[in-house]
A and B are shown apart, each in its own frame.
Chain A
Amino acid sequence: MAILKPILYILVYPGLIFLMVYSTFCEWFDRKLYARMQNRIGPLHTGRSGILQPVADIIKLFAKEDIVPEKADKGMFTALPVFALAIVCTAALYLPVWHYTEAASFISFPGDLIIVVYLLSLPTLIFFLAGWHSTNYFSAIGGVRVLTMLFGYEIPLLLALLSPAVLAGSWRLVEIAAFYQNHPLLMLVNVIGFFIAVIALQAKLERVPFDIPHAETEIVGGQFTEYSGKKLAFFRLLGDIEMVVGAGLISAVFLGGFPGGLLPGLAWFILKTLFIIFLLSVLRAATSRIRIDQMISFSWRWLAPLGVLQLFIVIIIKGNMS
């Protein structure tokens, strides 16, 4: 019986089934919001006001022909999407839902914040490899741009995520969330870090204004140009799940986590992640794509110094607290 909970945890909630279902819902939410902000309607016909549209898209992609370029390495080409999806689903397991009061275990231990950040940065390397293995010049440019962007947003993201952890005095997501549950006013100390984290998450997810790697009007599809069929479906699902996991991470670290056990925790999870996704959608609808050199100079000129500033503020306040 003791083994039932971990299995349910990995497979159902917050594991695979919940992630798949919830991430398609989040994609619908994002698309509908983006469309309404552009005075359009968005998905409408599949399901009640289009809520099954992302599912329909994934099913359609599964049914399409799978073409592998002639000179590409078949093994790597096929394995990369699967690896990426597996990595991101594993990262989701560390989000502090449903084990809020439990002691350290294999899914929650000191340092799991770092593990989640690390796991979330691995898909970037996989995108580069995907672009490289496509043996197509546009994909290679896309892959190179992905890594160049990584140099831009990763440091500010780390700085922003580590500041609340420093304030809370722990590297364990559950404890960070518990700290901010008990001291809600201290959430305001991390406001700068919150905004840096949201912007950096937008860059990690490669959405406008940072969708430079797979800029549609410039390099056709970037690293995804040669992917089709099931592999492309995996990459799309990866994008959605990464959005949910990223939003969950930011909520756990900045907004006080998901307390209360199973059902209240689920409600808080949905509420807080939808709030973050709302912010991401507004950012997407209101800006245009920037060039890669502008993105790097923006990150290093603004985001990174603001991250350092946030860390300073946290250190000063922590000094005053103790």
Chain B
Amino acid sequence: MNNEAIIEKINAELKDKVQEAVAAAPRRINVKVDRKHLLAVLTFIKDQFRMSHLATITGVDLGEHFEVIYHLSNDAVTINVRILTPRLEPKIPSVCALIPGAILYERELQDMLGLVVENIPDPRRLLLCDDWPEGQYPLRKDWKFERPAEIIPGGK
């Protein structure tokens, strides 16, 4: 199925749930969804277009909102499903019930961006160390890291 056919199908079936579905490049389709319809849209895409491969989940800090993009692929196209969540209330639903392999990506989002993933099966930290302080989310734009001055033992 090429881009046009897929976009038509999505617009036909999911008209009320999908905000926008465009073709960004050959073999790439962007679908914008409201976060409460995320699971329904993902289930539809997975079943209809046989897209069972979730490559990764990207979180982007846009200032007022966080954008979370789910990249699904099959052997012909890639569909990027994106949702927006406000910065002050960063909650997204978990997709692990649908795609078990998403667990590590959701843990990374929780860890690095501070999003709260509801119903996540395993809420532990993924990458940061165990005694990393709460509330410090390195991938947010306002988290800056000042490199301390280098101390050379025995030198000046």
Question: Are chains A and B touching directly in their complex (CB below 8 angstroms)?
Answer: no
State the A residues within 8 Å of B (CB). Answer: none
Report which B residues bind A (CB closer than 8 A): none
